[in-house]
Each structure stands twice: as C-alpha cells, then as structure tokens.
Structure 1
Amino acid sequence: MPFYYDSIKQSTLYVLIISFLLSSCSLPYLIKYAEKKQEVRVQPMPLAASGDEVTFEIAVSVPQRLVNKNYPYKLDVYFEYGENKRENIGTLNFQFGEFLYENKKPTISKTLAFPYDPAKKEGRLMVQGRVLNAKTNEAQFGKTTQIASGISTTPLSVVKNNQVLYIPNAYHPDKDTAEVLEFFFEENQYRLRDYIGSNLRILDQYVLDNVEEQQLKVFGSQSPEEADADLAARRAAELQAYYLGKVEMLDYVGKEVSLTIQHEEDYAEQLADKVKQSALPKKQVAEVLAILQKGGTMAAQTEALKQTEAYSYLQKYIYPSLRSARVEINYKRSRKPDYQLYLLAKKIADGTVDPTQLSADELLYAATLTPLLKEKRKLYEASVKLTDKWPAYFNLGVVYLQMALKEYRVSVKHKLLDQAIQHLSYAGYRNPTASVHYSLASACHVRGNKPKALEAYNYAIRMGGPDTLLTRIFADKAALEIEMGLYDEAIASLRYAGDSYQTQMNMGLSYLLKDNYEGAEGYYKQALEHKPYDALAHYFLAVVGARSKNEQMLTTNLRQAVRSKQSLIKEAVEDLEFREYHGTRLFQDALLR
C-alpha cells in the first residue's frame, strides 16, 4: 500500500514539474530544448539547381515533448544570399496530422523548392525554430542555423538546340502548289472530331474561298491494330461528305470543285515508310522491316511486331500517326511581283486596302520580304486576322520567339515568350505535325514551362517525321528530362537521338548525375571525338575526376579545359564540384599551367 501511494506521489510530482516547465518560463526552455534535440537532414548536399528551380528534400525529427497544442513548435526554412537578402521557402509545423513517426520520433519529410538565380549560387539554406504560446500569441525565436551552403549548377549544364525556323513559304511565283491538311482519329473511329483548333475550321475557309476552281484529293489511312479493315476508306469518305456538304450549303460563287478520294491499301508499305523515318535504332528498324517484307496477313505481321523491341515505340509514336486522313488542295492563282506584294501587304496591315487583293499565301510571302522583326510581326498579325491559317500563326510565333531571345528585360522577355507559345499552340491545333509541335516544345522549354514542353515533345514524336527531325526532338526532349531530374527517362530518349556531340554530352551528364562515373567518362570521351579539345567536355571530365577522387583525371582535363576557354578558370574556382580541392597545389597548378 505505501508503494502505491509513493507511485501516485511520484506521478503527481512529475506532472507538476512538466506543468511548471510549460508555464511562463516554458518558451525559452522549449526553444533551447528544440535546438539541442532536433535533427535536420537535407538532400542533396550541396543543393543543386535543376532548370529554373532548386528542389531539395528536408527531414526534421523532434522529441515528442515538442508536439504540444498549447505551445506549438514550428521550424521556418529560408534561403539567405547576397547582402541581407532572405527568401522564405516554407514552415514545418509539428502538430498532430502534420508528421509521421520515424524511429519513434515525430518527423516531417517534405520536398521544398525555390527559384534559382545566379545571385543565389553562394547562398545558404537556413532554419530557425519558434515556439508559440497559443493563448497569448507570444513567440520565442531560436537561433538561426545553416544546414546547407552553395548551389551546384552541374544539372544545368545540358546541351540543347531548340532551334525554331520559319516554315518554308508555300508561295511560288512560277507554279501552283498544294496545301495539305491532316485529320487524326481516335482508335477504331472514323467520325471527325470538331474540337477547338481542329483543321475542320481551316477546311471551312476553303469552302468560302473566291476562286474559279478547286481540286481536292482525300487520302484515308489506319493503323495495323485497328479491327475494321475498311476504316481508312470510311475516314476518307467522311471527309468527302463533310466538304461537299459544306460547299452545297455555303458556296455562293459557283466554283468548280473536283474531289477524289482514295485510301491506303498497302499498310505494310506505309508502316515501313514511317519506321524508316523514325528515330528507332538501325537494328530495331531492320527487325521491323524484315517482318513487313516477309509478307503474310496484316494480322500475322501485327502479332510478330508485338514481339520486337520496337513495339512500345510503334504503339506510342507510329500507330497513332497512321490513324488519319489528309486533304490536298490545289489552287490556280495569278501572281504579283515582290515589290507590289510587299506594298499591298503593308497597306492591308494598316487597314487602308481591301484585304481580298492578296491571297493568304501572298500575304504570308510578303512578310518574308522584310528583315525587320517589327514589320514581320505586323504582317503576320494581319495574316492571322484575315486568313486564320496555321502558317500565319506559326510564323508569328517564331517572330515573337526571336524577339524574346534578343530581349534583355526579363518581364518583357517572358511576355514575348508567352505570345510565341500562344501562337505556336494555335498553329499546332490547326496543323498537328512533328515540326510544329517541336517548335512549340522549344518555346515552352526556353520559357521554363517544363510540363507543357515535355507534352509537346512527346506529341511531336508521335506525329512522326524525317529521321533528322526526330533525332533533334529526342535530343532536346532528353535535355529537358535532365533538367527535370528524370535521368533514366533522359537516357531512354537519348538512345533515339543519334550519335552527335549533344547526345554524348547529355548522356555523360545523365550518368554523372546518377553517380555512374565510369559511364560518364566514356560518353564525355565520345563527345571529344565529335569536337576534339572541346572545353566543356574536358571540364566535365575534370568534374568526374573530382567526384571519383581521380586527381590525375581532374588535373589533366581541367588544365585542357581552361587552355581552350580561359573563362572557365573563374567557373572552376566557384564550382562546388571542386570544393574539396580549392586551395590545394594540384588545383592551382591545373588552373595556372
């Protein structure tokens, strides 16, 4: 019995002690206790920039005592750089529902990020705890603690192209040319999709054109896996019926319309053409072509293709592009000399001349006759307004992109890029081809809109196209995936990007960021086969040497890098990759000899 009462007394005493500690003097006590007992972990170390952001994982564990609704404990996370500049990143709140238990301790694990800027390269990641009195709102702040310093820019060192060119002009003074509109269908469907931006809207414009004669050809197609063998013919017939119905309803000039249809019957040949133009490795192309050349039923060939290494590529990128129909439209138009076209186009843009005096192709062509971007923009804007055709939207987007690349004011640059993306998107709705969507992806990539850029790269690849174009798309897509931290995906994309300097450099970077130093070394050496004495390749071989503790590789390649490009001396001195070697004799010798 005495033991029972002694236990009660001890428990009561313990409660009284805790109550006392959590009384008026509890805030200073708790904040010191938190600083002493909390554990903070950050990955990666050092922090690393990726694209236009610095993303990191932070995990904080605290004792159970700090989970208290009357005296809540919070940990502020911020970044300090420059002259007293502070950027708040987030707050970890140790209340029930906000944490999990790890090793029996309340633990919060979060992914946080903040915008990257070169001015932040030598900054510090800081934390500061605070305890609040829930009744009085009184707060006690703890000491500021540095948990990481500096930002590595190695993940930003991608090689990319992102070249966006004007489309070849369709206006030829010496001959008539055909314009092609493509329409894509859902799998096993032949009904036209009248969504916003569909080419049906452009097709409607041809119905209204004031010309004496139109010659149209409709070609239907389907993918090998589609069940209905007549699907290609149905798709062509659907477009024929649509156009002739619109002509009967809307045409008031009595133009003569000749419309013929046909569908692809040799699917194996059509598929073979697509495969030859794809970015598949030569070995996989040969495997697919061997199956198609062997003959047999399409069903049997389709089953055989499912067993190939290329099948996932076929499904994702080639088959969707075969579920289509295209319309070719020919016009007979009179031609005007360049000086007359240019003067008329300027007057049309100013609103002083009837816009019907020039055709859509003539108005687009006139914009190519001036080198001034402001004049080009004005003429393409007029073309967009008057014709609503995809080349006008596309070239206007290119103009905005070129203006953005020459702009030094960040806010203005971003506005111009947004305009470029908007107009390239409109062009993509109206003409969904690989080249158009690659240009859209490039503009989004330059703007820093990573998800939209990745979506556009993937869509461009699905459209198919010449091998030279697809390898460029895969190469820039891989550069974006590296910037997004998707190293395995980047490596997969680079397998279709051909053997180029860009491919080998980005493959080397991907392996470096995955800590595969032997693989990275091999790819950087292959890059040097494309560009002997290249400063960047030697520089990153030095980085590989630093990470793998190979001092000979570090010094030999760093010396060659700064010989080829002296500005890399400053880069190396500030680079966190060489932090362990800063101030050492071998590092100084590599930079100075």
Structure 2
Amino acid sequence: MVPTYLERFGDSVKFELKVSLPQNTLPKNTVYELIPSFRYGSQVYAFDKKLGFSSDSIGPYVSPQTKASFSMPYRDGMEKGRLMAYGQLTHQKTGKSLKTGEEVLAEGIITTSELSQIGQYYIDESIPVMGLSVKYGDQDAYGMYKDGWTELQRLFMAYSNLGFAEKSEYMKVIEGRGDFSHKNLLFMELKDYDKVRKDVLPRFDRLAAVSMATTEKSEMEIALLSRQIRKGEISAALLNEAELAAAVDLEPGLGEKEVLLKRMCEVHPSAFSFNNLGVVYLNLANRSLDRTEKNRLLASASEAFDQSNGFFENPYAAYNIGLVYWMMGDKASAYNAFYRAMAITRLDELRKVHEAALGAVSIYNGDYRLAVIHLNKAEKNEINLFNQGLANLLAEDYYNALIQFEESAILDISNGYPFYGMALIAARNGEEIILYENLSKAVSRSAYLRKRAPLDMEFIRYHDKVGFKDAIR
C-alpha cells in the first residue's frame, strides 16, 4: 500500500509499499523489482531493500503481488522531499534489464509529532523553563540535603526492637534509590514493618520537619553576602545551606545562580545542590543558539545530575537526565529515563510530572495510544491538554482531540498551539472556514507557528488558496 504521505515516527520515517502486477505480465526467466529512493534537496536516500518476484515462482493464472515495510532515518530538510521508485525487469540468464520511468509515490513528510511539548517549554517562548528544581525546605524532598538520610539511619541504629540482620535490610533501603515515599513502600515488604511504622517512622516525620537548616540572616544580609560570594571576595561557608538556597532564589539571572550553586556544591554538597545546578545548565543550554556551547552545557547538566544521583538516585535528577536526552534528540533514552524516575517516587505531584513527560515523548516516538494513557494521569494544564489532543489527533480520534484542544485554549487563550491543533483537525476534515479561522488565531499568537504553517505538509492542499494565505499573514 503506497502512503498518500509519509509520516515521521521519532527519529525515523516508516512506511509500507505494495506491488501488484496483472496476470501473465512477466516473461519466463525474469525477475521484477521495484526500487525506491527518497530525494530531498540535492540528496538521495537509497534503500537497501527492494520489492520483487521471479516469474519462475508465479503460476499462469496468478496476479503477482508483494509488500514490505521500509524505514529511513529522518534528516532536516526531508519534510519537502519525494518518495520515488522505478521498476526493473531483469533476464536471469542474459543479465539484461529494462527500467521503467521513475514515478513519485509520495510527496512530503508529516512532522506533526514535533509539536509535542514537555513541561513549561514551548519552542518560541522568550523565557522557556526546563527541569525539576528542588525547593529547599520541602519535606517531601527530605534526603536531598547535605545531611541526607543521616537522621533516619540514626533512628534505625538506635531502635532496640530490631535485630542486626533486620536493621541491615532497612539500611539497604535507606541507602538505595528513591525518595522517602518509595523507601517507605519497600519498608512495607520487610520483616517487622508494623513495629517500625509505629515506633520509628512517626519520630522521623517529626524530626524531618525541623532538622533542615533555617535562615538566621535577613534577606538583605543574604543578598549582600551573596554578591560578595559571587565576586569571590568571601567564602560561601559564611552562609548555611538554607541561606545559600535562599540566595539562589533571590537571584533572577541564570549566570548568578550558576556561580552560587557551584559554591554551594563545594561547601554543602548534596543531591539538592547538584540537581539544582544541573537545572541551571539545562536552561542555559536551552537558551544557547551555538551548537557547540549547547552541547557543552548539556554535558555539564548531565554531570551535575549524575553527581546528584551519586548521593542517592532521586526522582528529580533522574527526570532531569531525561530532559538532557530530550534536548539531545535521543527520545528513546528520554522515555527510559522518565520511566525510571517515576518508578522511584510515590508522590502524586511528581508522578504527574513524570507521566506528562512520558506522554510527550511517546507522541514524538509515534506511540500515540501509549501517550494518551500517560497523559490521562498527568496534571490537566494547558500544555498537557494540548499534548493529549495532539496524541488523539495523530491517532485519528478527532472528537477527543478537539475537546482537549478547546480545554487547553480555555486555560490559556494567549497560547497559539491549541488553535493550531484545531486547524489541523479542520484541514484533515476538509473544513476550510474553520481551518482558516483557527490558523489565523494560532499564527497571531506564535512566531514559530507562523513560520511553520506555510511549510506544514498537513496543509499542502491549502497552501495555494487565498484563504490560507490570508490566514497566515
């Protein structure tokens, strides 16, 4: 079956071709082959695979047919290319061959899955936000700070109603992966958990609430000392962990945050400080237009997240590593990282963030039904609702896609993406007036969508129409 258009699935373009010939078409001792290629710009992608059959294997009253699946890596510029093919008949004994003229099988590649978004990031936003930072003082993030799980370990070591072997099993969990919600789930599977739940964990909850450092200096003092620390005039050790965290929050610029967090990693090294430093590098990379600099910053972000996970594998740094993969274009590894991050927390708020990311990557990778499943469990904000609509659109469930695009637009009327989604549905359904109306709203709200629309193969039937041209002006 020849596709009416090709479609991008993750980093690949996949399609199926079918060849059918009338009865008694092939002379004896001949082989027929269909040889496809893809042409874009001045380049040609030649497929290793061919479709064909031999006359010797076909009966006199049979119409020969065969089909095969093809795949090629997606490259920039392919979206306006053409899938071409020619037939070749070769005599098996003489080796002589005849070729047909080359024909266009499909023109253009649909890249709608590229519209998938993660978190608070939009392609053309002036200040996009990437990454999961840890807020200092959040009890759910206990263990992320400099003292780590020391308090919980001390409570278990001092508890007299557990033997050494039983304590060792609990200590393995404490020193292992996951936040407290995940560790508590593993505790439940261990011997004597009922005693631990009654005698140890309530004491930990009370201590965890007050054990983190607090700010002893005023905001003005912190700001003044922060400036001196950034200039290298004084040691960062003059501020405690909570005060340095507050100093980072006071600074609006990523460059200033980077310097302070690097100092914090020196004097208060922790899963918290390294994770938040990595988030700064992630956002600096997202703002960089230079590919070499972007890659350098992504490498720094990855190293910082690895350092954070070195204290204990946590659902913040594990998620952020997925974003590094996402920005590097490795969406398969991004999915694995997001899935691993979700496996080490039971906190609803975090899991919703992870589900949203898994849904976004699933769209990009071409698994639209899986994307819908993940996004059904994510927070119902304007970005996740847009992604959910996009997944349903690509799965050809236009009814639910339209509902979700409309809900996304209601939550943020200034966002052009849901209107673009509604325009895509209208284009596929041949509803020109609705298409132009929604496309005009989309491009008026987004510079990126204004550039995309005239090149988008979803609108190929409308590119030359006056209504379309008026809508994108």
Query: What's the TM-score once normalised by structure 2's chain length?
Result: 0.68
Query: What is the match of residue 339 of structure 2?
Result: 458
Q: Are positions 1:46 and 2:5 aligned together? A: yes
Contact 1:501 1:530 (8 Å CA) reproduced: yes
Aligned partner of 2:106 among 148, 172, 185: 148
After TM superposition, the structure 1 stretch with the greater mean CA deviation from structure 2, 571-580 or 148-157, is 571-580
Q: Deviations over 1:242-298 (max 9, x none)?
A: xxxxxxxxxxxxxxxxxxx81469xxxx9xxxxxxxxxxxxxxxxxxxxxxxxxxxx
Q: Are positions 1:230 and 2:192 aligned together? A: yes
Aligned partner of 1:544 among 425, 434, 437: 425
| Deviation for aligned residue 1:92 | 0.9
Matches within 5 A, 1:415-564: 415-464=296-345, 467-532=348-413, 534-562=415-443
Give the 3 Å change call, closer, same or farther, for CA 363–263 of structure 1 in structure 2: closer
Q: Deviations over 1:465-516 (max 9, x none)?
A: 6544433332232111111111111111222223321232222212211112
Whole-Å separation in 1 of the counterparts to 2:20 and 2:360: 40
Whole-Å separation in 1 of the counterparts to 2:322 and 2:459: 35
Query: What is the match of residue 59 of structure 1?
Result: 17
Whole-Å separation in 1 of the counterparts to 2:348 and 2:37: 47
Aligned partner of 2:169 among 191, 196, 200: 191
Whole-Å separation in 2 of the counterparts to 1:48 and 1:179: 51
Query: What is the match of residue 167 of structure 1?
Result: 134
Query: What is the match of residue 115 of structure 1?
Result: 74
Query: What is the match of residue 149 of structure 2?
Result: 181
| Deviation for aligned residue 1:535 | 3.4
Task: Give the number of equivalent residue pairs.
Answer: 425
Give the 3 Å change call, closer, same or farther, for CA 384–200 of structure 1 in structure 2: farther
- The CA RMSD over aligned residues, in Å, is 5.3
| Deviation for aligned residue 1:451 | 2.5
Contact 2:31 2:89 (8 Å CA) reproduced: yes
Give the 3 Å change call, closer, same or farther, for CA 421–142 of structure 1 in structure 2: farther
| Deviation for aligned residue 1:342 | 6.8
Whole-Å separation in 1 of the counterparts to 2:459 and 2:436: 11
| Deviation for aligned residue 1:78 | 4.1
- Of all paired residues, the percent bearing the same amino acid is 23
Contact 2:170 2:187 (8 Å CA) reproduced: no
Aligned partner of 2:45 among 66, 83, 88: 88
Matches within 5 A, 1:60-459: 61=19, 77-82=36-41, 84=42, 86-88=43-45, 90-92=47-49, 105=64, 107=66, 109-117=68-76, 119-127=77-85, 144-161=102-119, 163-164=130-131, 166-169=133-136, 179-181=147-149, 191=169, 199=175, 221-222=184-185, 226=189, 229-231=191-193, 262-263=200-201, 361=241, 368=248, 377=258, 389-459=270-340
After TM superposition, the structure 1 stretch with the greater mean CA deviation from structure 2, 87-96 or 509-518, is 87-96
| Deviation for aligned residue 1:532 | 3.6
| Deviation for aligned residue 1:360 | 8.7
Structure 1: unaligned runs, 5 residues or longer = 1-40, 171-176, 202-218, 237-260, 271-325
AA matched with 1:479: A
Q: Deviations over 1:36-87 (max 9, x none)?
A: xxxxx444x3222345x3421233548897999xx998766543223x2x14
| Deviation for aligned residue 1:463 | 3.4
Whole-Å separation in 1 of the counterparts to 2:183 and 2:393: 47
AA matched with 2:134: I
Whole-Å separation in 2 of the counterparts to 1:530 and 1:366: 31
AA matched with 1:112: S
Give 3-state SS (helix, strand or coil) of 2:464's partner: coil
Q: Deviations over 1:300-326 (max 9, x none)?
A: xxxxxxxxxxxxxxxxxxxxxxxxxx9
Whole-Å separation in 2 of the counterparts to 1:569 and 1:395: 35
Contact 1:562 1:591 (8 Å CA) reproduced: yes
Whole-Å separation in 1 of the counterparts to 2:358 and 2:390: 14
Contact 2:274 2:307 (8 Å CA) reproduced: yes
Contact 1:92 1:108 (8 Å CA) reproduced: no
| Deviation for aligned residue 1:571 | 4.0
Whole-Å separation in 1 of the counterparts to 2:51 and 2:251: 64
Query: What is the match of residue 455 of structure 2?
Result: 574
Of structures 1 and 2, the larger Rg is shown by: 1
Give the 3 Å change call, closer, same or farther, for CA 495–344 of structure 1 in structure 2: closer
| Deviation for aligned residue 1:388 | 5.7
Give the 3 Å change call, closer, same or farther, for CA 127–331 of structure 1 in structure 2: same
Give the 3 Å change call, closer, same or farther, for CA 113–144 of structure 1 in structure 2: same
Give 3-state SS (helix, strand or coil) of 1:49's partner: strand
Contact 1:221 1:232 (8 Å CA) reproduced: no
Whole-Å separation in 2 of the counterparts to 1:566 and 1:385: 42
Whole-Å separation in 2 of the counterparts to 1:562 and 1:432: 42
Whole-Å separation in 2 of the counterparts to 1:66 and 1:414: 58
Whole-Å separation in 2 of the counterparts to 1:389 and 1:472: 23
Q: Deviations over 1:197-227 (max 9, x none)?
A: x9479xxxxxxxxxxxxxxxxx98446973x
Whole-Å separation in 1 of the counterparts to 2:233 and 2:96: 69
| Deviation for aligned residue 1:230 | 0.9
Q: Deviations over 1:120-174 (max 9, x none)?
A: 332223346779999999999875443221122322222332532543457xxxx
Contact 1:479 1:506 (8 Å CA) reproduced: yes
Structure 2: unaligned runs, 5 residues or longer = 121-129, 138-144, 154-165
| Deviation for aligned residue 1:114 | 1.8
Give 3-state SS (helix, strand or coil) of 2:406's partner: helix
Query: What's the TM-score once normalised by structure 1's chain length?
Result: 0.56
Whole-Å separation in 2 of the counterparts to 1:436 and 1:418: 14
